[in-house]
Structure 1
């Protein structure tokens, strides 16, 4: 992280425990402490780079959260966060499936823009030691801690980042049971916003639909699946985003009908964006290698750039219906 890229300006913590009748609201901001600032900074950076982050916009109509963001003022930070906490606490008390939590509110500057961060640190169970004295004897024991918070290396389950200039929203959220229906309560009931699919969700639709489409039309052609991943990797390399039409053209070349059917299938499965960016972590996980598994139990991870390169790997269809895989230009082999 570059120096001054991220600067925390305000921070406050409120306690939303559904075992209590009212929330425990701080009257003052959290004291400035290097360790806690570092804790929050790590969570902010982790969230900003999370492929599950969903972009969203406020809906039209009355919206108290939006009003607070529009009239954003550092001098009213404490009162604003107390009001937002009471709104969240009412939801937690009304719907028992929503987990209790400590809420961290922060105003922070990131790459020259001001953000309101709302980090819902859902309680986790942990165990700690306890020291008692019984009959003048020391008794050490292990006790369950019900309200532990995620540490700096653990993922925050739910959070909201609001750009205070554009009012663009990015959020991590989970579905919980609300009157018998699983819904995203943060976006629908608290923020009253409409969210789009995350990078992770888009990639999942792309890979799953592509694999199924090729299985249905090319009888599970393993080389074709590798070509599809290679087409995505090349799109990312040249455009720094996944261009669905470009990928379709690369896979199906001059087959216009198959290309059209492929794009229409993507739209039916919910991938409406013709092109979209994905972060480096998702690229590494999904589009750098193609795993091949044989019916004899052999597994090979093939770098995507080697597909269609017969100087590196060759698939040979034998007359008896079996397939041979010939690996070439191997300098050495290591056991792992």
Structure 2
């Protein structure tokens, strides 16, 4: 996975897309990038690039206006202001065709990164904020709280839909990264359906190393919970071996790992391989080392449904502080040693 850490904002434009209007309200100027505005944009871009739901995608072979106009900007054939207007128009078309898509502002940003230039598009769904209102009634000051329903997401809030488009080149593994979070409505119809990927961007998701690693770890844990019941000893061995492989191997051979986990249980060995394959994974799983390092930094244990335990990975493997004692009957003792200080929270 490309973890982008060096971000510079070049230009930015904001347009208003009110689904109750006839046309989008298109800006004729770039945003003034003063310190506050730059920080606001930067934090949103940075948060989106760190979002675990950010995925790789490839533009489809069919004609895509978003692809065409974004490439005009990235190839230096058009400026961001004009390109952003067309991107806004195309999103507005989707909004008028689908009543489930809420009104928003669209933020279009030109950025440079350690991997080259990118065009960033963020759908800024409105959030409900409150402000004060001052009136004078019969020469008396009257201050009330009133709702403001068209507020932009703060820099600490997560964006639901966005895209980071790269210059399209031959033989690329991916040419954009996308966030497309979906909300379920009461009638079970997904919010906005898949309009953002399919109809607006015209792209298809490509599995990357982080997706594979996350899916594999989740599959291994789900299999352990479902098939290794009332045997905490065996479950601990499996979880430890899975984590060891994630930390030490660049590529995990699922068949080989299953052989090591279930040497004397051919039935479980086969079921584990089948279960992992059913999650859409191949026989070999490419490991995202940066994600693993972050994910496995802390261990969370839910013990017999009524005890939660959070432990740093280093402490978990330090026998002077923490120990797993095997009782030989499938149960284990979890021992926290040499406690000199503790607090209640």
Query: TM-score category by the smaller chain?
Result: 0.7 to 0.9
Secondary structure in 2 aligned to 1:57?
A: strand
Question: 1:55 touches 1:195 (CA, 8 Å); kept in 2?
Answer: yes
Residue 170 (structure 1) aligned with residue 177 (structure 2): yes
Question: In 2, Cα distance between the equivalents of 1:136 and 1:334?
Answer: 59
Instruction: Map Cα deviations across residues 127-150 of structure 1 (whole Å, 9 max, x no partner).
Output: 111112233332211111010111
1:2-50 per-residue CA deviation (whole Å, 9 max, x = no partner) reads: xx92211111000011122211100111112111111111111111111
TM-superposed CA distance for 1:283, in Å, is 5.3
Q: Give the 3 Å change call, closer, same or farther, for CA 225–99 of structure 1 in structure 2.
A: farther
Deviates more, 1:133-142 or 1:256-265: 256-265
For structure 1, the 5+ residue unaligned runs are none
Contact 1:176 1:185 in 2 (8 A): no
| Aligned position for 2:201 | 191
**Over aligned residues, Cα RMSD in angstroms?**
3.5
CA distance in 1: counterparts of 2:188 and 2:223, whole angstroms? 35
**In 1, Cα distance between equivalents of 2:216 and 2:127:** 34
Counterpart of 2:325 in structure 1 is 314
Cα deviation digits, residues 85-129 of structure 1 (max 9, x gap): 011011112211112111110110011410000011100111111
Match of 1:147 in 2: 150
Which residue does 1:28 correspond to in 2? 29
2:131 and 2:115 mapped to 1: Cα distance? 41
Task: Note the 1:17-56 alignment, pairs <5 A.
Answer: 17-56=18-57
Paired residue secondary structure (1:175):
coil
TM-score, scaled to structure 1: 0.83
Contact 2:56 2:205 in 1 (8 A): yes
| 1:107–1:116 Cα contact (<8 Å) kept | yes
Aligned to 2:137: 134
Q: 2:114 aligns with which of 111, 114, 127?
A: 111
Identify the residue that residue 243 of structure 2 maps to in structure 1.
Answer: 233
Cα shift readout 1:40-69 (whole Å, capped 9, x = no counterpart): 111111111111111110111211111123
Deviation of the 1:257 alpha carbon = 6.4
Contact kept? 1:17, 1:23, Cα under 8 Å: yes
Structure 2's unaligned 5+ residue stretches are none
Question: Equivalents in 2 of 1:71, 1:48: separation in Å?
Answer: 23
Distance 1:324 1:175 in 2: 41
Aligned to 1:274: 284
Q: Does the 8 Å CA contact 1:115/1:161 hold for their aligned counterparts?
A: yes
Matched position secondary structure for 1:42:
helix
Deviates more, 1:199-208 or 1:169-178: 199-208
Match of 1:223 among 229, 233, 241: 233
Change (3 A) 1:200 1:115: same
- Asked if the contact 2:247–2:289 (Cα under 8 Å) also holds between the matched residues in 1, the reply is no
Q: Return the alpha-carbon distance in structure 2 between the equivalents of residues 168 and 7 of structure 1.
A: 19
In structure 1, C-alpha distance between the alignment counterparts of 2:155 and 2:289, rounded to whole Å: 21
SS in 2 for 1:147: strand
CA distance in 2, matches of 1:60, 1:44: 28
Find out whether 1:89 has 2:70 as its counterpart: no
Query: Structure 1 CA distance, aligned partners of 2:127 and 2:282?
Result: 37
1:14, 1:85 within 8 Å by CA — same for their partners in 2?
yes
Tell me the number of residue pairs that the alignment of Structure 1 and Structure 2 aligns: 329
